[in-house]
Structures are given as structure tokens and as C-alpha cells.
Amino acid sequence: MSFETLELRKIKQEHHAMFAQRFDPNAIVEENVEVKVPIIKPRPLIPAKRSRKEVTIEKNEESEVESSEAEISESEAESEAESEAESEAESEVEEEKEDIEKDVDMENPEKFNSVLNRFQQTISLQDKLDVNNEDKNDQEEEIDIQVHDLEQIPQPERTPFTHEDRESRMAATNIAKIDAAFMSTQRIIYDKDMTKPFKDFSKDLDPRLLNNITRQFSTDSFPIQTSLWSNILPQINNMSKISKKNFTRRIGDQLINASTGSGKTLAYSVPLVQSLINRKCKKLRAIVLVPTRLLINQVGDTLLKLCNKSSLMVTMANLDKSLREEHEKLIINEPDILIITPGRLVDHLNMQSISLINLKFLVLDEADRLLNQSFQNWCTELLTHLSQDKSSIDSLPGNIIKMIFSATLTTNTSKLHDLNLYNPKLYMMDSIKLYNLPNGLKEFNLNIGTAKSIYKPLLLFKLIQSFLSGDFTARKVLIFIKSNEAAIRLQSLLSIIKDSFSSNNDDTTNTTTYFIDSINSNNTKLINKKILTNFTQSTNDNVKQILITTDLMSRGIDINNITDVVNYDLPISSQQYVHRVGRTARANNSGNVYNILIGKGEQSFWSNHIDIDLSRNVDTTVDDSISSEVIEQLTSENEATYMECLNIFKQQQQQQQTQGSS
């Protein structure tokens, strides 16, 4: 072998030796290695060169240090024989001393006195430190130091935070909220069994009114109606005879927290009509405030039914006339009862279309929603006009009866304070939770993994197609979604899916017809009204009516026989949830709600921000067993068909955009 080759091999070997073989993690062998960590003595510190001033100070200190050194050396002498390590340390220090002394120029040693003194001082301080360290080191040497990998330091036992703990904590919070908001309010607790035949109120109700109730509604009163009427009808009948001026104060303000569909509209309408049905002259004595124009017509219908065969006049300011036209109508024909939205009321007060001098009742329906709306600062405006108009006859507090109604009555004390409540009474169910759900409501949660979220529209259709059948033949399904645009898109996509899957469906016996509509702001008011009428009135068997909408429809809308509500997008609060699901299971009927929860985020939001505020019947729970059954519908064949539907949808959207832009 030539010399070069040998030389080359040597270089390679050196190179290999220099760069260790590639690190192989599998080669790691787990072991607890007891490693003696060598105790490295800190080398004596020689102070850096210092200014003359420092040196003079130093001199004084040195004398002190020397005296203290003397004390230290005595104690050292008394101490046990120094350990081996100590003598080694001393010898090292001695050697260091000798080294340093050698470096010093011995011809004129005095000029180095300051350096030597500083050195002496440092050495003595160092010795003191060493003595202390050695004591510690001795202790350390007795401890076997074990080297561990990075691992979790054992944590103290955590008391498990159970669901019951959370429930009781939230219950305490809820009770605290209610107590804070209604501290000086008399509580009137009612329960779900408090129903009684309307005819039992015959001594409290005008015969015409009683007849209208039994003809139009039913034979028995609902719990909140029983409780409220039993308390105020006798007072209304007696006070209006004895003392017209003070009858409002004797009754006081009424706050009602009652679940959705529990008959709140009838609950406040009957006392209004009963107190006015025998009035002598027509004056504006009752105002009913509602948050949306949809509700104006609904409340108006109830009041018109109750005023049948009486001379009472009910006016609905339902915004289908201009402000000017409405103004003239009110001036010419002052109503007994006015149903209006807050913003429009402020307009008419400012235009002096109406006067509040004769007002006896102010009803706030969906009060929490109204108090959250600040339309032209309506609350302050209204109360200011009230005190101005009443100043000539009765400007004292309690000069009207305020009736505050909601399924999610606010506990916001400042908003309640704005109402200037007088001698208030609070009607509430005997519950520690803020909101009560209707008795006949069944809740289902569909827990869907994030990975399947793309198939949400398909899952919705499969839910409607396969699971919304059962005991109802004609189904009305109200689907809540987060925005108008999303409602329009979902309606288009769901129609494509319906056409595709119905045609694919070889079950010829399945003659179900689907109507899929959406109420949204892109439609004209007339179209929305027509869609709502169709949805409300049709009851054909084997028809599934799907209405997609936003939270515009979540409040108060009373559509009978809605069989199912679907929260396609989760509501943003427990209040919104209560009002959405309250569109079904109304007036003691049964109904279902399906919550589509995508991923852990939505599931924990549901638990911690919605479910926690809700009070249900003791035997009612949320059923999430159908999640897996619905997901089983996601066969590869269905997924493929769905992807085709998505493509058709995208093509339609592009065509609409090109048509829109051309």
C-alpha cells in the first residue's frame, strides 16, 4: 500500500474520530446515573485596582477586618481538626500566596503594601467563606446527588372539580344575581301546576272578556296567568271603584319572569282590558312596548280578540304607514291601547301625537331586549314626557302601573333602576337557575368532530330526512343561523342536496315533500311576510317545511305547531338559546331542539355558557346519543354526492355573481 494511501487513511480516521458518529436517539439507554459532581472550589477573588479614596476607606476597614480576623482565627483554633479538604484548600492558597509574592518587586516592598493588605483581606474573607462552604459541602457530600431526566414534579393532590361543584357554584352566582337585582322586591313564587279553569275568574272578569278568553284560547289558565290575575284582578276591580287616583300605587309595578310560550301576552292583556272595558271616555290609558314590528301584529291580534264586543280601540303602530300619516291618525282618533316599538313612541311623543296624562299601564314585552335597545334613549324620553304630562294631576312616583315581561328577565340593576320601579313585585318559578325551559321541550346535541365540519349542511339534511319523522307527520323545522348571508347560502345548498339525495333515494314509498325557505333581509317585507304565512298556515301531512332564519325570528314569534328548532349555528348566549328554543314546545305542546356542536370549542361553550343557566324538569336531560347515528350517514357514497352538490352550488354562485355584475 503506497505511503499516500496510508496517510489518507490516517487523515480519515482522525476526521472520523473528530466528528462523532451520527447521534442515534434509539441508542439512548434510560438509566438513573449517580454522578459525583466534583465540588469546584471558588478561586480566591483578587479585587480589581481601586481609586485612592477607596484605598483610604479600605485602610480603616482593614483595621476592623484585622480585629474580626483575630476573632475568627480563635474560633478556628477551637474548632475540630480541619478536614483533609480544608488543608488542601489552605495549601492551594499558600501556593497562590507564594506565586503572588514572587511576582512582587522585592527591592521596594513598601509600595506594594496596599496590594498585599488587600490580598490579605481577600484571603481572610475567602477563608471565612471556605469555612462556611465546607460546612455546607460536608453536608452536601453526605447527600448522594442523583441526576434525573426532565420530568413532571409530583403535583399535590387536586380536589376533583365535579359537575355538581360547577352547578352549585353557578347556582350561587345566579341566586346572587337575582338577589342583587331584586333586593327590595317582593317575590311571588309560582309553579307549573298552578292552572285553573278560566270560569273560576268569573267574579273578577267582565262577562264579555271571559267569553272572549274561553272562545279564543282554551278552558284553563296557564301558571303565570293564574298567579298574576289572582294577585291584581281583585285590586284593579276594587281600586278603580274606590280611589281612581291611588289605585296604581296600591297595585305597584309587576315584574314577570316566565318561560317562552307560557302565555305572557294573554297574562298582561287580560288585566289591561278588564281595567278599561267599562271606561266612560276613550283616552290613551295603556301602552304596550315590543322590540320588533313582527310582534306588534301578534300582540295586536290577541288584544283585538279580547276587546271583541267592547268599545275599546286598539291601535297598532306597525310602521306600515309613514310617521306623518300615523301622527294624523293618532290625533284624530286617540286609542285606548297603543302597541308600538320604542323608537316610534319617542317620535310620536316629540311630535305630540299622543299625551300621557291619562296613562295607567305601561307594558314592556321582551323587556330585557327593550332595555338593551337604546333607540333614541327611549326610556329616559318616555319617563320625562310622563312626568311632564302628569305634572298637573299626579307627579308622584307610582302614578302608572309598569308591567315588565320576559322569559329572560334582566338582572342588570342599572337598567332596572332606569325604570323608576314603584312597590315592585317579582313573579318567578321556584328555581335556582336564571331561565326555565318549556316543560314539553326535548333537547338533542349533535357533537361533530372538527374534521367533519365541511359536511355540516349534509348532516343537517340527513338529520331532517332521517330523524325528524317519528310522531309528527307534518313537520315544521325552524333553523337558526348566524347571518342573513349564511341563511341565503344554506337555503340554496340545502335545496341542491335535497334534489340530489331525493332523486338518488330509491325509497319510492317515501313521498315526503320538502319546502325550504329563508327569512332574510334580502327579501322584501312582502316576500318575508308571505313566506312566514305559508310556513305558519300549512299543515299538510308528509310535508317537511324548513324555514331558515336569523335571530330576528327568535323573540316572541308565536307560530303554533313548530315541531323542531335546529341551532345550526350556536346562539351567543343562554338568553338567545332560551328564546330560540322557545319557538317550539309552546302552550304546553311538545317540541324538539337540535344543537349542532362542532369541535371541543363549541361543546365547551354549550356547557359553560348556555347549559349552566338553564333550569329543566328534574326528569329532563340533554340527549346526545343521535350524534353517532347522524355521523354514520356520512358514507363515502354520500360524501361523494355531497361534493357534487357543492360544485353545483359554486357554479350557481358564480352565475349569480356574473349576472349581478352584468
- Min dist. Cβ of residue 220 to ligand ATP (A): 6
- Min dist. Cβ of residue 326 to ligand ATP (A): 25
Query: Which one, 222 or 577, has the nearer CB to ligand ATP?
Result: 222
Whole-number Å distance between alpha carbons of 156 and 92: 47
Are the C-beta atoms of 181 and 416 separated by less than 8 Å?
A: yes
SS3 468: coil
Query: Which one, 286 or 460, has the nearer CB to ligand ATP?
Result: 286
Cβ neighbours for 279, distance < 8 A, ≥ 6 positions apart: 285, 312, 336
CA 494, 485, 452, 595 torsion-angle sign = negative
Is residue 246 near ligand ATP by the rule CB under 6 A?
A: no
Is residue 438 near ligand ATP by the rule CB under 6 A?
A: no
Is residue 586 near ligand ATP by the rule CB under 6 A?
A: yes
Is residue 587 near ligand ATP by the rule CB under 6 A?
A: yes
CA distances from 12 to 1, 9, 15, 19, 120 (A): 16, 5, 5, 11, 55
Within 10 A of 620 (CB to CB), how many other CB atoms are there? 15
Is residue 265 near ligand ATP by the rule CB under 6 A?
A: yes
Cβ neighbours for 617, distance < 8 A, ≥ 6 positions apart: 439
Is residue 436 near ligand ATP by the rule CB under 6 A?
A: no
Whole-number Å distance between alpha carbons of 662 and 657: 8
Whole-number Å distance between alpha carbons of 475 and 468: 7
Scanning 31-39, 48-56, 100-108, 262-270 for contacts with ligand ATP by CB under 6 A, the matching segment is 262-270
Is residue 44 near ligand ATP by the rule CB under 6 A?
A: no
Is residue 218 near ligand ATP by the rule CB under 6 A?
A: yes
Is residue 307 near ligand ATP by the rule CB under 6 A?
A: no
The single-letter DSSP state of residue 455 is G
- Min dist. Cβ of residue 659 to ligand ATP (A): 40
Is residue 253 near ligand ATP by the rule CB under 6 A?
A: no
- Min dist. Cβ of residue 269 to ligand ATP (A): 9
Is residue 558 near ligand ATP by the rule CB under 6 A?
A: yes
Tell which one of 252, 291, 398, 556 touches ligand ATP (CB under 6 A): 556
SS3 398: coil
Given its phi and psi angles, is residue 556 left (phi above 0), alpha (psi -120 to 50 degrees) or beta? left
Is residue 359 near ligand ATP by the rule CB under 6 A?
A: no
Query: Which one, 463 or 553, has the nearer CB to ligand ATP?
Result: 553
Given its phi and psi angles, is residue 261 left (phi above 0), alpha (psi -120 to 50 degrees) or beta? left
DSSP structure string for 262-288 = S-HHHHHHHHHHHHHTT-SS----EEE
Is residue 252 near ligand ATP by the rule CB under 6 A?
A: no
Is residue 263 near ligand ATP by the rule CB under 6 A?
A: yes
Scanning 45-53, 213-221, 380-388, 597-605 for contacts with ligand ATP by CB under 6 A, the matching segment is 213-221
The distance of Cα 81 from the centroid of its chain, to the nearest Å, equals 74
**x-marked contacts with ligand ATP along 618-657 as a string, rule CB under 6 A:** ----------------------------------------
Is residue 427 near ligand ATP by the rule CB under 6 A?
A: no
Q: Which residues bind ligand ATP (CB under 6 A)?
A: 217-218, 221-222, 225, 258, 260-266, 407, 556, 558, 560, 582, 586-587
